[in-house]
Amino acid sequence: MEKGTTPITRESGALHATAFLRLDSSGNVLRSPCELCTARDYSVCRHITGKDFEQLFPHGPHVQIRKAGTTIFLQGEPFGSVFIVQNGWLLVHKLFEDGRRQIIRFVLPGDLIGFEGNEVEGMSYSAEAITDVALCGIRYSLFFKTCAASPQLAMNFATTVTREALAAWNHVGALGQQRAQGRVANLLLDLHHRVVARCGTEPAAIQLPINQIHIASATGLTSVHVCRTLKQMRQVGLLEFRKGQLVLLDTERLAEIAQLDPAVPLDGLQKMN
């Protein structure tokens, strides 16, 4: 996480800010620093707000630290706690019989995790810490009770989940209709946006704690093919990605490949293997 020095006004920040814009009585956007992550403006954060946070933990937050690689919950387990991530990255994935896995989403500081299931069937997915993480947990029963007593918290929860659903639907679109470059572009752009929204500046390079294997299981490709795809994208000057360091070189074109239709050859981009 990097510290911000200027207020966030770029669209990359606004992308995720939308759902948390708060208006004061005269209709102006309320801005205040976030208590949960380092963002200067909590409207850019992707999480239940600091106020909700106080409500959930009236006697102060109960933070727990987990080492990188730790399993937070396993699919099939009983429905337990909801966590707010204070620090570090996690991933949620679905495990298959033969050991393959589909990464469902990456979870960044400020995000909520642990609602991936229900009381009857238990957790539908597993979660794992990618880096060391600091989690702020609350029993689901208490969380639910607190929500039921506070429409504001309940609506913030609903908004958070809606945002996750939108992200998931986007993911469905990418996996269903796009080829390797499009899927990778989608993922990296999304992560880039989410990371940049947390720093005040737009750094040339950002650090992602993931490797090609992560990219592979998130995009439904093999790591071998992710390697080839990244090579292509590097060669045509789209981006750099080495040791988790990501540099977007041609954001325009990347956005085209990600949002529009990458299956139609974009004049000479393809075929450079």
Positions touching a copy of itself (CB under 8 A) are 14, 18-19, 21, 92, 94, 96-98, 100-102, 104-105, 115-121, 124-125, 144, 147-152, 154-155, 157-158, 161-166, 168-173, 175-177, 217-220, 260-261, 263-264
Figure out which of the listed residues 22, 242, 260, 272 binds DNA, where binding follows CB under 7 A.
242
Cα separation, 115 vs 82, in Å, equals 6
DSSP per-residue codes, 35-82:
SSSS-S-GGG--SS-HHHHHHH-TT---EEEE-TT-EEE-TTSPP-EE
Q: What's the burial of 4, exposed, middle or buried (CB within 10 Å: 0-12/13-18/19+)?
A: buried
Query: Whose CA is closest to 216, among 239, 183, 177?
Result: 183
**Nearest-approach distance from CB 87 to DNA, in angstroms:** 20
User: In the chain, what is the straight-line distance between the N-terminal and C-terminal CA atoms, in Å?
Assistant: 35
**Residue 14 binds what, of a copy of itself, DNA, none (CB under 5 to 8 Å, by partner type)?**
a copy of itself
Cβ at position 137, least distance to DNA in Å: 27
Q: Which is nearer to a copy of itself, 154 or 247 (CB)?
A: 154
Q: What are the tokens at 18?
A: 């939308």
Is 221 one of the binding residues for DNA (CB under 7 A)? yes
Residue 224 binding result from a copy of itself, DNA, none, given CB thresholds of 5 to 8 Å by partner type: DNA
Query: By the criterion CB under 7 A, which residues form the site for DNA?
Result: 179-181, 211-213, 220-225, 227-231, 242-243, 263, 270-271
